[in-house]
Every structure is written in structure tokens, then in C-alpha cells.
Amino acid sequence: MLDIKYIREHAEEVKQNCAFRNASVDVDALMDLDRLRSEGIQRVEEIRKERNEVAALMASAPEEQRPGLIEKGKSLKEMLAVKEAELTDTESRWLELLMRVPNRSHPEVPRGETDEENVAIRHHLEPVPIEGVKDHVELAKEHDLLDFERGASVVGAKFPYIKGRLAILEQSLIRFALDEAMEHGFLPMATPDLAKDEVIVGAGFSPRGDESQIYSIENCDLSLIGTAEITLAGYHQNETLSAADLPIKYAGISHCYRTEAGAYGRESYGLYRIHQFSKVELFIFASPEQSDALLEELVRIEEELWKKLEIPYRVVDICAGDLSTPSYRKYDIEAWMPGKSGEEGKRGAYGEVTSASNCTDYQARRLGIKMKGTDGKIAFAHTLNGTAVATSRAMIAILENCQRPDGSIDVPKVLIPYCGFAKIAPGPSMK
């Protein structure tokens, strides 16, 4: 969240940023509640002080004065209870609004309201036309690689079984991504698939309510994570890190669970929007001076990975209206997917496969993650996150780009040592 002191001093800028980012937050109402909260805190402190003074007088007061002091003490106790209850209510409403205020935006963030206004800043490889192109769902059916029907029967729609050589390829992608991450100093970490709601909120996500994309566990304060960004962000909650140790880099391995509410009919074909998938997530704790450069490093790492997979892609600068609440700046990599629905009903379009965000101190402030400089000064750390690989979408790009006229699917050369085969051929591929 933003520092309330910053919001007080820059209320108009915060309003403009909310409008810039399509964030529906009543900043004026927040400021009104902030004044009420300050007044409430002051009044509660005054009553407590007066009550303590009465208690001190009671200790040495003559007997004839004690009844009056007792009565005054009771009155102050009742008044304090009322004012504390009012303050609790005010603080609850104040915090709810404060948590909805999005992060500040980098000055170079493109203006725009939807993902259609994101700006492509560079491309790698030109898509190769494929005669008689098939999408990954058709290819998977031919090679018996996915089973959506039985997944729907056992769990529900969009929980597919991944079978045969595609299951091996998925694990190969995870290990390949981990090796790439480790080369850049990231520590592999298998994270829990659940987190406390307070940690999810701290990371900037909504675990409950109509707008949530998260599966919550009934009758407890736990929810399934939508990304290891959540569990990695919470790893150092309420800690003070040494600036000398920064940046700290983790590569989180986890399943991800997303309800994808409202996503049906929009980019929902096959594996593109499923409710469970595996991912390797890059996460960095940094000092404020490091974070801008580290965002560029995250994008370079992601690009290196996709270059090695030899898949055409483009890098996209995310516009203000499409930024997530915690993001100060964000880049996506979109891979070419020959079977995806494109313009005018034609096959072939780019689809998001990675993202990289600098969240500055937005998450750290919520989670109480600080850093101590060499000068002894304490400040909030900066956090960054990026996708090394989300296996579901990586598999789409590989299956569709690497299909061959004879019906086979080539495995990217970089993955062959990991999976032990170079091709997925027609017919039974694993016995």
C-alpha cells in the first residue's frame, strides 16, 4: 500500500493516478476518514490520560473525595469504550480504502485503459506460416496428451489431465527454467500451495469477495495461491533485511490455482485459461536503488529463456489501465500461438506467457518487510516478480509452433536433454 503520509501530501496526484489506472477508489472519502481517525486517536489518548490521572489521584485522595473520583473513573471508562469502538470502526473503513489505492505508476507507463492498448516494444523471430495449422487441443487429441473430459468428470471444467510425453515435457520445462534461474543467482524454493488470507492481501491480491480470482478454503483463513509470488512475498514478512544482503533472489516452484471468473469466451481455449497449472516464479527483495535495473534484468532472463526455446515472441509494455494494483511498472512477454484465434477469425495470435513487475515498496509496506542500510537507517524494501515459466502456456506455444506436416511435434532442442526424446510422434507415445 502507499504511505498514508504520501497520500495526504499528494492527494490530487493520487486521484489522477487512480483515474489513470481505472482504479475505483474514493480518495476524498479516504482523506475524510483519515482526519476522523486522527481525531479519534487523539480523543482516545486524551481520555486514557485523564483516566490515568484520576487513578493516580485515587491513590492519595482523602476518603471524602474518593466517591467522586470513582464516579468520574467509571464515566471515563464508559466514554473510552465508546470512543475506542468508534475508532475501531473508523480505522476499519480507513484501512479498507487505503488498501484499495494502487501503487504509483512509473512516469513512462503508457496511457491506456485495456490490454489492447499495451505497447509492443520489441519482437524476436517472425512467426512461420504453417499450412493446415492445428491448435494444441487438436494436436493433443491426436497424440493422446490431454484429457479435459475426465478432468471435468473428476474435478470440474478446466482441470485437465496431462498425459504421456506432454507430462514429461511439462516437468522438463520446470527443470529447464530452474537451471536458467540458478544461473542468474536465484535460489530454488518449493513453496506451499496455500497461504493465509492476510498474506494474500499483503501481496496485493483479493482472497475473498466477488472480484476474487482465488479459491478460498471454507471455515478457515487459508486460500489456494494463484502464484508463488504470494508465498515468496510472505517469506520475509515482518522482518528487517540487511541492505548488504540485497538483492535476495528466489525461484518459487508451485501449483497455481485461479478461478478465472468471467474469463470464459475470452481466450479460454484449451490450456490457455485453466484452473490449475504449474509455474516457476522469480521473486526479488531489493533496495529502492536496485529495483529499476532489476526489472530490466528479469525481462532479460525471461527473454533468454524464450530465445532458447526458439519460439517467436514480443515484449509488451503494460499500459496504466492494465497494471495490477501492486505494480509500478510491468512488462509481458507474449509468445506466438499459431492455433490461437486472431484478427478477423484467422488463426494465429500472440498470447501472454510471462510477466515481470516492479512493485516498489507497495507489498513490503503491507507485509512489514524492511531493510536496514549501512548507515543504520530503516526503510521498506522493494519487491519484484517475474515468470520464468508457466507450463500450461509454454506447452501451447511449443505444441503449436513445433508441429510438422507429418503430424509429429518437435521438442525444442534445449529441452531434449531434460525430457529424453526429440519428438512427439503420431500414435501411442508412452507405454
Domain boundary among 44, 67, 100: 100
pLDDT tens digits, one per residue of 3-23: 999 999 999 999 999 999 999
pLDDT tens, residue by residue, 218-245: 999 999 999 999 999 999 999 999 999 9
Do 244 and 298 belong together in one domain? yes
User: For 278, what's the count of Cα atoms within 13 Å in the CB-facing half-sphere?
Assistant: 18
Q: How many domains does the chain have?
A: 2
| pLDDT value for 428 | 55
The confidence score (pLDDT) of residue 265 equals 47
380 with 269, same domain? yes
122 and 48 inside one domain = no
Q: What is the Cα–Cα distance from 302 to 389, expressed in whole angstroms?
A: 8
Q: Is residue 187 part of a domain?
A: yes
For residue 16, give the CATH number of its domain: 1.10.287.40
415-422 average pLDDT score: 97
Looking at per-residue confidence, does 258 or 426 come out higher?
Answer: 258
- Residue 231 — left, alpha, or beta (φ > 0 → left; ψ -120 to 50 → alpha)? alpha
Does residue 69 surpass a pLDDT of 90? no
Q: For residue 427, name the pLDDT band (cuts at 50, 70, 90).
A: low
pLDDT, mean of residues 380-393: 98
User: CA-to-CA distance for 298 and 72, rounded, in angstroms?
Assistant: 63
In the sheet with 187-190, reading across from the earlier edge strand, the strands are 119-124, 313-317, 329-341, 347-358, 382-390, 276-286, 248-257, 187-190
CA separation (Å) from 56 to 53, 61, 78, 402? 5, 9, 18, 82
- The whole-number average pLDDT for the span 21-47 is 96
Residue 343: pLDDT band with limits 50, 70, 90: confident
| Residue 130 and residue 85 in one domain | no
Q: Are 176 and 224 in the same domain? A: yes
Compute the average pLDDT of residues 249-265: 84
HSE-up of residue 254 (Cα within 13 Å, Cβ side): 25
Distance between CA 290 and CA 245 in Å, rounded? Answer: 12
Mean pLDDT value across residues 307-317: 98
Is residue 349 assigned to a domain?
yes
Which pLDDT score, from 0 to 100, does residue 56 have?
87
Final residue of a structural domain among 39, 73, 100? 100
The pLDDT of 25-36, averaged and rounded, is: 97
Q: What is the mean pLDDT of residues 191-207?
A: 94
Residue 431 has a pLDDT of 43
Question: Residue 219 burial by CB count (10 A; 0-12/13-18/19+): exposed, middle or buried?
Answer: exposed
Is the pTM of the predicted complex or chain greater than 0.85?
yes
Domain identity same for 219 and 268: yes
Shared domain for 174 and 270, answered yes or no, is: yes
Contact, 369 vs 381, CB < 8 A?
Answer: yes
Same domain, 146 and 239: yes
Considering the domain architecture, whether residues 202 and 63 belong to the same structural domain is answered as no
127 close to 315: Cβ distance less than 8 angstroms? no
Looking at mean pLDDT, say which of 48-52, 60-64, 212-216 comes out highest: 48-52
Are 333 and 316 in contact, with CB atoms under 8 Å apart? yes
Domain of residue 187 covers 115-424
399 has pLDDT over 60: yes
Give residue-wise pLDDT tens across range 141-167.
Answer: 999 999 999 999 999 999 999 999 999
Average pLDDT value for residue range 415-419? 98
Q: Kindly list the catalytic residues.
A: 258, 273, 352, 355, 393
84: pLDDT strictly greater than 90? yes
Mean pLDDT score of the chain, rounded to an integer?
94
What angle (nearest 5°) sits at the alpha carbon of residue 402, between those of residues 397 and 408? 130
Q: Is residue 431 part of a domain?
A: no
127 lies in the same domain as 76: no
Instruction: Tell me the three cell numbers of residue 96.
Output: 479498507
* 50 and 166 fall within a common domain: no
**pLDDT for residue 66:** 81
Percent of the chain with pLDDT over 90: 86
Residue 214 falls within a domain, yes or no?
A: yes
**Has residue 210 been placed in a domain?**
yes
The whole-number average pLDDT for the span 51-72 is: 85
- In this prediction, residues 88-95 reach a mean pLDDT of 96
Domain end point (choices 49, 70, 100): 100
36 domain residue, yes or no: yes
Q: How confident is the model at residue 212 (pLDDT cuts 50, 70, 90)?
A: confident
Q: What are phi and psi of 367, to 5 degrees?
A: -95, 0
Instruction: For residues 69-93, give the mean pLDDT.
Output: 94
In a domain, 110, yes or no: no
Give yes or no for residue 267 having a pLDDT over 70: no
Q: What is the predicted pLDDT for the residue at 261?
A: 67
